């Protein structure tokens, strides 16, 4: 039924209908984001011949959804996303990044931009663009989704929320790489 409405809203244009459905899914996901998530799964993913391993905790509202193939696929795909990201993400969401780190990077980017001898307003925009790109590289939910780089991981999670009808939260993850951390 949603597809029929989307096609009517977009005058039969399939591409516009897809965009309409994605926007609707994101709106649905944002409405559910305040609900409690105390169930879910801890998934693991081993990649590259056993040289990279990931554990990720993803929460939902009910154990029924946690057993749902859509939800389980999401958990697996998030594990692959974390394993396949280079550089790997350090945080789940950008709100977790310490403000001091953001300010330090902003100052570095601003200093680099000043060397270009451009106007101050342009320098600010360049620095802010680089800060945004920096956050995308270190925050899981801000990264382009590996299986569909046209959307972010956050949008992929939101699409799953729309499909399963429950709030989903990526809580935490840990990534191990063979030989990492040696002196």
Q: What are the pLDDT digits (tens) for 102-117?
A: 999 999 998 888 887 7
Q: Domain check: are 82 and 154 in the same one?
A: yes
Whether the predicted pLDDT of 28 surpasses 60:
no
Pairwise CA distance, residues 77 & 150, whole Å? 16
In a domain, 74, yes or no: yes
Q: Does a structural domain hold residue 19?
A: yes
- pLDDT at position 31 over 90: no
Residue 91 pLDDT grade (very low, low, confident, very high; cuts 50, 70, 90): very high
Pair 58, 13 in one domain: no
Which residue has better confidence, 83 or 87? Answer: 83
* CA separation for the pair 100, 107 (Å, rounded): 11
Answer yes or no: do 53 and 109 share one domain: yes
Residues 120 and 167 occupy one common structural domain: yes
**Confidence class for position 23, pLDDT limits 50, 70, 90:** low
Q: Which residue has the higher pLDDT, 123 or 145?
A: 145
- The residues pairing with 44 across neighbouring beta strands, listed in sequence order, are 55
Task: Provide the pLDDT for residue 124.
Answer: 86
Residue range(s) defining the domain that contains residue 9: 1-32
d(CA 82, CA 122): 34
139: tokens are 């925050």
In a domain, 183, yes or no: no
């Amino acid at each position: 039924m949603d597809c029929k409405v989307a096609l009517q809203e977009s005058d039969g244009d399939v591409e516009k209908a897809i965009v309409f459905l994605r926007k609707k899914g994101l709106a649905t996901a944002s409405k559910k984001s305040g609900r409690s998530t105390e169930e879910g799964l801890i998934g693991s993913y081993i990649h590259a011949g056993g040289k990279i391993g990931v554990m990720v905790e993803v929460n939902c509202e009910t154990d029924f959804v946690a057993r749902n193939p859509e939800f389980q696929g999401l958990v697996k795909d998030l594990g692959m996303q974390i394993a396949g990201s280079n550089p790997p993400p350090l945080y789940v969401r950008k709100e977790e990044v310490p403000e001091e780190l953001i300010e330090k990077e902003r100052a570095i980017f601003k200093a680099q931009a000043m060397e270009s001898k451009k106007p101050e307003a342009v320098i600010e925009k360049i620095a802010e663009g680089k800060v945004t790109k920096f956050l995308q590289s270190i925050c899981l939910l801000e990264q382009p989704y590996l299986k569909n780089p046209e959307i972010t991981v956050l949008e992929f999670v939101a699409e799953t929320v729309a499909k399963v009808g429950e709030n989903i939260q990526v809580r935490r993850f840990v990534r191990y790489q063979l030989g990492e951390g040696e002196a």
